[in-house]
A = this chain, B = another copy of it.
Amino acid sequence: MPTYKAINLIKRPTGPSSPELFEIVEKEVPNIKSGEFLIKQNHMSLDPAMFGWMSPDTESYIPPVELGTVMRSSGVGEVIESQHPDFAVGDKVNGMFGWTEMLVSDGTGVNKLDKSLSDEMILSVFALPGLTATKGLYSFGKPKEGETIVVTGAAGSVGSIVGQLAKADGLRVIGVAGSEEKCAWLTDELGFDGAINYKSDDISAQLNELTPNGIDVYFENTGGPIQKLVFDRMNAHGRLIVCGMIADYVGGEPAPGPSWMNAIRKRLTIQGFTMPDHFHETPQLLEKLTPYVMAGKIKYRSHTLEGLESAIEGLNLFFTGGNKGKLIVKL
């Protein structure tokens, strides 16, 4: 019998990702029944949110992955067998496929995609990153031409799209990233007005210099010391979108946040948000995002790892900042 590989989560992390948290299993390719189809996954996405999904239940936005089951992830694949009326062999599909080379589906939560789009573009722009950027920026950030936005994790999959959308809308866009190479990409390739390397720059001085008119919108993907500095430079009626706190995803008590004193003085709105609450808005979000992509305003780069098992260590690139662009595993 032909077989395929999958990876189950078997232990909850207390630190970075490591092989002891997972088991690699080999399964027989099942026979499909009427109303089902078989997907061969070609690319799967690695996202910072996965650390939340692996952690014990903290009343998070979606329940944690059950121990002993396939690790959760989104991916793009191809239908290779079908007894389902709406899915034909050769269809390109995406969904929350998990860390597996193959899966059987009844169509629930699976979308058919235009075959002309590359898997990389789908996972980097039209899936979680683009939806998250679009929802967070427009619904909560309420950007206005001429305003200043600061984005952390700016070279990451979400942050890079947020910054480009804001730039296209006429904002002054300052990105925060973790290497000179990433900062250069932001300013030279994506057209950001400035970039701060939080690992080497005098972040306070740089921030002050790059935001002479203060900050109106803050898109937070990382946490870390930049947070308080930005908070203290927010203008009256500023909007802060809290989308990620990668600096605090694992390990003990998270670092405290800024005093709320300035939240009063500046009448700030701080909005925590996660995309799964808004998946039902996907059609409208794509309608908003697509014209920017069509107009060539949204560049992306993906960082592709090879083979299912590469996902395990690959996740740690979010902590080291070692990834350049959207992390994708090629199967």
Tell me the A residues contacting B by CB distance below 8 Å. 52, 58-61, 220, 223, 227, 235-236, 242-245, 248, 253-274, 277
10 A-B pairs with the lowest CB-CB distances in the bound complex, closest first: A263-B272, A256-B256, A254-B259, A270-B270, A257-B257, A264-B272, A254-B261, A242-B260, A242-B263, A268-B272
User: Known contacts A59-B265, A266-B272; can you find 19 more A-B pairs with CB under 8 A?
Assistant: A59-B235, A59-B266, A61-B267, A223-B261, A242-B260, A242-B263, A243-B264, A245-B264, A253-B259, A255-B259, A256-B259, A257-B258, A260-B270, A263-B272, A264-B274, A267-B274, A268-B270, A268-B272, A269-B271
Docked Cα-Cα span, A150 to B257, in Å, equals 21
Docked Cα-Cα span, A58 to B266, in Å, equals 9
Contact A244 B259 (CB under 8 A): no
> What are the residues of chain B within 8 A of A235 when measuring CB–CB?
59
> What are the residues of chain B within 8 A of A223 when measuring CB–CB?
259-261
Residue of B248, B253, B265 touching A272 (CB-CB under 8 A): B265
Q: Give A254 Cβ to nearest chain B Cβ, in Å.
A: 4
> What are the residues of chain B within 8 A of A269 when measuring CB–CB?
269-272
Docked Cα-Cα span, A257 to B264, in Å, equals 13
Residue of B244, B257, B265 touching A256 (CB-CB under 8 A): B257
Q: Give A277 Cβ to nearest chain B Cβ, in Å.
A: 6
Docked Cα-Cα span, A52 to B257, in Å, equals 22
Which residue of chain B is the closest to A237 with respect to CB atoms?
B277
Docked Cα-Cα span, A272 to B236, in Å, equals 10
Docked Cα-Cα span, A268 to B271, in Å, equals 6
> What are the residues of chain B within 8 A of A253 when measuring CB–CB?
259
Docked Cα-Cα span, A254 to B263, in Å, equals 12
